[in-house]
Every structure is written in C-alpha cells, then in structure tokens.
Amino acid sequence: MSIYVIGHKSPDLDSVAAAISYANYKNKLENTNIYTPAVAGEINLATKFALDKFNIDKPEILENASGKSVIMVDHNEFAQAACGIEEAKIIEVLDHHKVVFSYSDPINITVRAWGSSNSIIYYLYKEQNIKIEKNMAALMLSAVLDDTVITKSPTCTEKDKEAITELANIAEITDWQALGIEIFKAKSNIKDSSALDIIKSDYKDFDFKAGKFGIGQVETVDSGEFEGREVELLKEIKKLKEDDNYHTVILFITDILKQGSVILAVSDEPKRVENALEIKFKNNQTYKEGLLSRKKQVTPIFTKEFDK
C-alpha cells in the first residue's frame, strides 16, 4: 500500500518539490518506502527546469485521490486539491497557507507562516538529524527560492533565509541568487506555452461566499515576453470563467525586477474587484505597482471582501 504525498492542482515548484522531499523524509524517518510523491496535474516550466537540472524524477500524476491514503503538502483547501480528495483518507497536512481545513479524524497538521513548504520540511530533516542528499537539497533550495521570489517576497521570513543558506551549503551551490534567476528565467520562457498553460502555470481556486474565484499568478524576470498576448490571455480567462462558472478569474503577471503586476480579470463584479485591490481596469486590464504576492496582498483582501 502506498501513501501518496501530494501538492495542489496546477502544481508549482514548491508543491512538487514538497511532495518529493517530504515523501523522502517520511520514508527515511520510518525506514520504509510506502510514501510516494505524486502531482495533481502537469508540472510547470520552473518545476521542469529544477527536476531536469538536479536529475530528479518527475512524480507520477495522481488523477484521482478517491479511496487513496494521502498526505496533503503545500495546500489544505479541498478546492485546490486533487480530484476525489473528499473520498480520500487524509493522513497528514503540511502547509504554509491560510488554514480552512476540517476533517472527521484527528490527524497531524504542520503549518508554519513561512515563505515555503520546503523551509518547513528542511527544519524537520534538521530536527530529526536526517541527512539530505545533495540533489534533494538543491531541489528544496530551488523551491524556497521560487516561493520567496529569491527572498524578495513579503512572505519571506528569517527561517526561509536560514533554510536557503543551509540548503545551499548542503547542495554545494555557492551562488544561490544566480540559481534563483535561472529558475525565474525558465518561467519566463513562454514562447511555446498556450494562453491556458500560462494562466494555469500557478493557479488556485478559492470558494468564497460571493462565488468561485480563480487566481493565477505568473512571476517573471522578463514581462516583455507577455506583451502583446493580453488579448489572447483575456479571451482564455473569459472562456475559463464561463465554462467553470466562476465569479472571477484573475491573472497577475508579476515582474519581480520591476516589482509590480499586470492584472487581467473577468468578473461578475469588476467594480468590487477594483475597489478591493485599489485599481482601475481599462479593457479588463491594469498595472499595479508594488503588488508581488498573491498570498499576502491578494487572497486576504479578497477573503475579506468576497467571503463575508
């Protein structure tokens, strides 16, 4: 019997790396091999880059979690989890997002308000004195760099910075900033990506009282790659909204060097979205200086406005 360790749908690098590193940790801790990393969908460009670079296998895709034993990592909302999660046996949760989790059985839940799931997992390895292989450390480091936007994100904590320094040591990577830039360059390489791939590369559903929200974010070091694709992206956003009955679908194209986001949105209540984010749309798009983090600067505001 396998226990699947799995991150959220539209998996990002932290989510996939957490599945791999936490399964490895649990297997070593319990001297077993029942913990199997899995992904809830196709991996994105940053994830592919890191897995290829550090020679780590892509986890299998778990199409349906129904009837399976599962550890949820890097998420705790059923709206973001693999299909069939309602009928899965949940063993454990490890995460760094706002908690909306509720379950019928007592289980272990590890949540820290840190910048990356892999920072938490790193501290567990350390606490238990479990050796981290060089390539595993490099993958975990990549995930922390990605989730904390190379420490520039407002979500980055001292714990994340410590994890970065120590993981870089173990991985024998002297210039972790350069690795971070490489990861974000891989993400910006979207020439061959369809509009839907771009929207879904880091995309989360939220079930608010006002309705279902889909919030996508692309972080780039070269927003020029996205210029001229706004119309095509908006067309896909509109289609997604209609097909899946969303209240709002919104995409943030965040330039981490310019420190701001282009925002594309289609909503049942665009005025409320404008007021909440203190923006003004023109043809369903706008730019917001200083907006970098979905988790810190968007989700709390939307929860307050649309989940009351």
Contacts to Mn ion by CB under 5 A: 14, 74, 117, 147
DSSP state for residue 91 in the 8-state scheme: E
Q: Which is nearer to Mn ion, 147 or 225 (CB)?
A: 147
Q: Which is nearer to Mn ion, 153 or 284 (CB)?
A: 153
**CA pair distance 74, 71, nearest whole angstrom:** 10
**CA pair distance 72, 206, nearest whole angstrom:** 17
Q: Which is nearer to Mn ion, 14 or 255 (CB)?
A: 14
Q: Which is nearer to Mn ion, 19 or 266 (CB)?
A: 19
Distances (CA, A) of 103 to 84, 86, 88, 90: 15, 10, 11, 8
The whole-angstrom distance between residue 191's C-alpha and the CA centroid of its chain comes to 22
Q: How far is the CB of 121 from Mn ion (least distance, A)?
A: 11
End-to-end CA, the chain: 42
Q: Which residues, including other chains, have CB under 8 Å from residue 272's CB and lie 6 or more apart?
A: 305, 306
Residue nearest to Mn ion (CB): 14
Q: Which is nearer to Mn ion, 21 or 117 (CB)?
A: 117
Q: Which is nearer to Mn ion, 80 or 248 (CB)?
A: 80
Q: How far is the CB of 272 from Mn ion (least distance, A)?
A: 28
What are the DSSP E strand ranges found in 209-301? 211-220, 248-255, 260-267, 285-289
Q: How far is the CB of 147 from Mn ion (least distance, A)?
A: 5
Q: Single out the residue of 264, 98, 254 nearest to residue 187, CA to CA.
A: 254
Q: How far is the CB of 58 from Mn ion (least distance, A)?
A: 18
Q: How far is the CB of 299 from Mn ion (least distance, A)?
A: 13
Looking up tokens 């810190």, which residue turns up?
296
Q: How far is the CB of 287 from Mn ion (least distance, A)?
A: 25
